């Protein structure tokens, strides 16, 4: 059984529930961890408590939810009342005597007093907390993402929470979930005094929460032509003008965004200083330069739905534009106050070239490989691309050797998980696929005969070769092994974040993992 699977039993009495909540509060306090925690972390703590206190295994889900609540408690208390949402389920209403109507936003309570909903909504109103009666937490994620509210205090049955809980955790949504005392979808009950207690708590400090959408738009604006020319001056000739145009082309600006977000999470500042902005644009220069060179090396004709630079200007000029962008990137970093920025980028630059070099060398002389060989390429070619933006953001915020090591370990696991998943997705379609040193190839070489490997290495279309009936079972077996590894490295990345003390950085990296690996689509 999956160790994170929730079982639906709730302790039978209020006294027992409150005693266990007190025990959980003591345990969480002793751990000195900050939110969010992963499902695996919550599961581990719950299992420890169950073993120590001889609790039934059926309490596991309830314990996980209450551990989650205690981890978030101090942070939620620092969020102003007007930025909170109380979410209640319709099943708390009286099933036969309720006079309320339902509209697109939820239950329109008449406050007849026949159930606990009116008293909870009245308490929320007195405090200035928004409230709504609706089913499910999914819509709440959108309210949080759109900054309508900053956190949710919600009541739900454990059965519904099993579906919603992983979504709330992967999106690092600040909040607390109070399980109903029993399931049944009508005439349910909740510890209303406990809900009011959580609703009323308020600390003197105000939480710092990043406005992700605002920052994304701000970063996009840095790459508008008028803004770029302030940082990348041109002599009007082809090389620098092509560089500027290439920099302003389509793109998600993922790297400069991560640098700026890491800086803001660590510093707590609302504005992005010029040094940080220069570093962020510099990182994008390196990325865009690598795309120019990769397109040449991979013989790609289009990028962003348009002709690649070497198709448009020829290979020599494209190489020159890529080299110019590298120079512009280093120039921008040299204008920043910390020399550690240059050292970090130079290290990543060399590692990327090493990884690409190993891949190109193999492509010239294809041979049998191991999975470890493929993972080594990922560590050199993929991991630095994930890591460098986070490292530069941390350096700009003041630098910290311990934090940078954590970022390295997180990036290593996430970069490998991403590349493993990308390898799997290469085999999802039927389009022609050229051979490269992938994790799938590594597993196929480890698990099959020399004669099969020789045929595979000589194939012009890997998809067509491996989809032959005689070979398809081998491909399916390799895909399953690599898919399992994706989850191993995904959990390793999240596990690295356990001891991070900065809540907003931790939230950012949870969300980055969700976005990169497209979990809980």
Domains and CATH numbers, the chain: 14-200 (no CATH), 208-337 (1.10.600.10), 352-521 (1.10.600.10)
pLDDT value at residue 161? 80
pTM of the entire structure? 0.90
Q: Which single residue is written with the structure tokens 């120039």?
A: 331
Q: Which single residue is written with the structure tokens 């194939």?
A: 459
pLDDT value at residue 168? 82
Q: Which single residue is written with the structure tokens 């793109």?
A: 251
Q: Which of the residues in the chain have pLDDT under 50?
A: 1, 3, 520-521
- Condensed to tens digits (0 to 9), the pLDDT of residues 295-321 reads 998 888 998 888 999 999 999 999 999
- Condensed to tens digits (0 to 9), the pLDDT of residues 472-501 reads 999 999 999 999 999 999 999 999 999 899
Residues 338-347: contacts with CB within 8 Å, 24+ apart? 338/275, 338/395, 338/396, 338/399, 340/395, 340/399, 341/279, 341/392, 341/395, 341/396, 344/388, 344/391, 344/392, 344/395, 345/282, 345/283, 345/286, 345/388, 345/392, 347/384
């Amino acid at each position: 059984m999956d160790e994170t699977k929730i079982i639906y039993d709730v302790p039978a009495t209020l006294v027992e529930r409150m005693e266990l909540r007190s025990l959980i509060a003591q345990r969480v306090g002793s751990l000195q961890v900050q939110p969010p925690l992963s499902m695996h972390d919550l599961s581990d703590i719950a299992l420890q408590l169950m073993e120590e206190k001889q609790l039934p295994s059926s309490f596991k889900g309830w314990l996980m939810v209450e551990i989650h609540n205690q981890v978030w408690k101090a942070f939620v208390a620092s969020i102003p009342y007007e930025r909170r949402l109380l979410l209640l389920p319709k099943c708390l209403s009286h099933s036969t005597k309720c006079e309320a109507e339902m509209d697109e936003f939820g239950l329109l309570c008449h406050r007849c007093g026949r159930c606990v909903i009116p008293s909870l909504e009245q308490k929320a109103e007195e405090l200035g907390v928004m409230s709504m009666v609706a089913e499910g937490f999914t819509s709440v994620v959108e309210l949080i993402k759109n900054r309508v509210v900053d956190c949710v205090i919600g009541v739900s049955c454990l059965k519904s929470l099993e579906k919603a809980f992983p979504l709330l955790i992967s999106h690092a949504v600040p909040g607390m979930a109070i399980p109903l005392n029993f399931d049944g979808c009508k005439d349910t009950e909740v510890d209303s005094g406990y809900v009011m207690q959580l609703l009323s708590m308020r600390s003197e400090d105000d939480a710092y929460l990043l406005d992700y959408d605002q920052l994304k738009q701000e970063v996009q604006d840095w790459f508008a032509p008028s803004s770029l020319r302030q940082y990348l001056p041109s002599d009007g000739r082809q090389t620098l003008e092509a560089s500027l145009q290439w920099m302003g082309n389509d793109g998600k600006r993922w790297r400069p965004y991560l640098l700026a977000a890491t800086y803001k999470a660590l510093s707590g500042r609302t504005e992005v200083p010029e040094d940080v902005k220069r570093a962020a644009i510099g990182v994008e220069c390196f990325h865009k330069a690598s795309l120019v060179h990769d397109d040449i090396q991979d013989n790609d004709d289009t990028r962003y739905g348009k002709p690649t630079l070497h198709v448009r200007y020829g290979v020599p000029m494209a190489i020159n534009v890529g080299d110019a962008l590298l120079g512009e990137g280093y120039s921008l970093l040299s204008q920043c106050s910390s020399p550690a920025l240059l050292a970090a980028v130079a290290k990543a630059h060399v590692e990327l070239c090493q990884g690409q070099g190993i891949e190109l060398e193999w492509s010239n002389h294809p041979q049998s490989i191991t999975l470890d060989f493929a993972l080594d390429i990922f560590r050199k070619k993929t991991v630095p691309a994930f890591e460098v933006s986070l490292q530069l953001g941390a350096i700009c915020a003041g630098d910290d050797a311990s934090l940078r090591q954590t970022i390295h370990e997180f990036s290593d696991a996430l970069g490998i998980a991403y590349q493993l998943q990308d390898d799997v997705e290469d085999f999802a379609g039927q389009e022609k696929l050229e051979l490269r040193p992938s994790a799938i190839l590594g597993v196929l070489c480890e698990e099959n005969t020399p004669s099969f490997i020789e045929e595979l290495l000589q194939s012009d279309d890997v998809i067509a070769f491996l989809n032959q009936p005689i070979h398809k079972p081998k491909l399916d077996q390799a895909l399953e092994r690599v898919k399992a590894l994706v989850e191993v490295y995904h959990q390793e990345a999240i596990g690295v974040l356990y001891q991070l003390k900065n809540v907003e950085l931790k939230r950012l990296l949870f969300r980055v993992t969700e976005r990169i690996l497209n979990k809980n689509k």
